[in-house]
Amino acid sequence: MNTVVWIGFSLALFAGILTVTKKQITVSDKLLSAWLFLLAVDYANIGITFISYNPAVIPSSFFLFNPAFYLYSRSLTDKNFNLKPIQLLHLIPYLFFEFANHYYALTFTINDFFIIDSHLWIRLLFAVSFLLSLIIYNSLSIVYVHKHRINLKNEFSNINQNQKLAWLLFIVISYVVYILTATGFGLFGFLYNDFELSNLFNYSAAIALTFALGFYGVRQDEIYKRSLKSNGYKESEERYKNSKLTSDKKETVKNLILNYFTEKTPYLNPDLNMQLLSEELQIPKHQLTEILNTVLGKNFFQFVNEYRVKAVKQKLKDTENDKYSIEAIGYDCGFSSKSSFYSVFKNITGQTPLQFKNSRR
């Protein structure tokens, strides 16, 4: 068991160092590295505790995992997220129970855990706090990532795997499954007063989660660039149903969008996103999104890629472009990957680019 704990310490420390030494460190990277370093300290503390005490104290690592998933998910999906001192309050449950574990000697032994004594309140508080922390933080994490994935097509014209955050959603859900499984092992331990299997599973699973979050976290890039110039207005959060745009205003914004795409061909830029369009037109993003969805009947992703597909079709019809590969034409028209190009083209035209090219003859 002690070996497993020190492996976790080494892994968390190494992943934290890799994250904090990235060339372009983001707010999310700072948050992730801080959590990994705290987790390394926690592993070291557990290792020392195993050496110093025979009964295994209840680990407080869960009070690190839960808020870490929540804050990290927010940092990646909320473009207005910033690190603030007040967020340190999320560490209070962890620090409190880390202290309580040693001061009150909270152990896994069933005879000590449920015995009616002066320390019963702290053990029950631990159990209740753990359940609330698990339910609240992880529910919020899943909600943030899920909403982000739904909203991607209103923000980006090209969507890659890095932006989808499928890995983070998978890890958060896996963590919940792990907790439920660990609960089963815990009940087994209470019934037979044997927690060796439960401890081994808990720390092994924690190591796996540490590795996964560290591995993907190091590779994760910032999704919403926070260094873009300011438009000089504060983004409104109003919904379409509360829209105050008049019919004339909607028509004006619609024409501005259409004229801009016709004259400036911004869709040829593979990095075009809603923020860039908002800055160029000097129109708030929420108004652009509303016009696209309610007046033009398309999300940003659909709108931009229809222009790209039209540009590709024009090039494929021209025999002078036969010297170029189909993929090169797709990239030239604003697509950022071969898979995205073929998928979008077929979805819009019902044909693959090659089938369309052959059909021109």
Can you tell me which residue has the tokens 């499954």?
A: 177
- Cβ contact 30:68 at 8 Å: no
Instruction: Please state the pTM of the whole predicted model.
Output: 0.74
**Structural tokens at position 95:** 């620090």
Kindly state which CATH superfamily the domain 240-359 is placed in: Homeodomain-like (1.10.10.60)
What are the backbone angles phi and psi of residue 269, rounded to the nearest 5°?
-85, 115
Can you tell me which residue has the tokens 């494929």?
A: 316
Mean pLDDT across 168-184: 84
CA angle 267, 227, 234 (to 5 degrees): 85
What pLDDT does residue 231 have? 41
For residue 320, give the DSSP letter: G
Res. 66 pLDDT band, cuts 50 70 90:
confident
- Cβ contact 200:1 at 8 Å: yes
Res. 344 pLDDT band, cuts 50 70 90:
very high
Mean pLDDT across 150-161: 88
**Could you tell me the residue ranges of all domains in the chain?**
2-219, 240-359
What pLDDT does residue 225 have? 64
330 pLDDT above the threshold of 90: yes
232 pLDDT above the threshold of 50: no
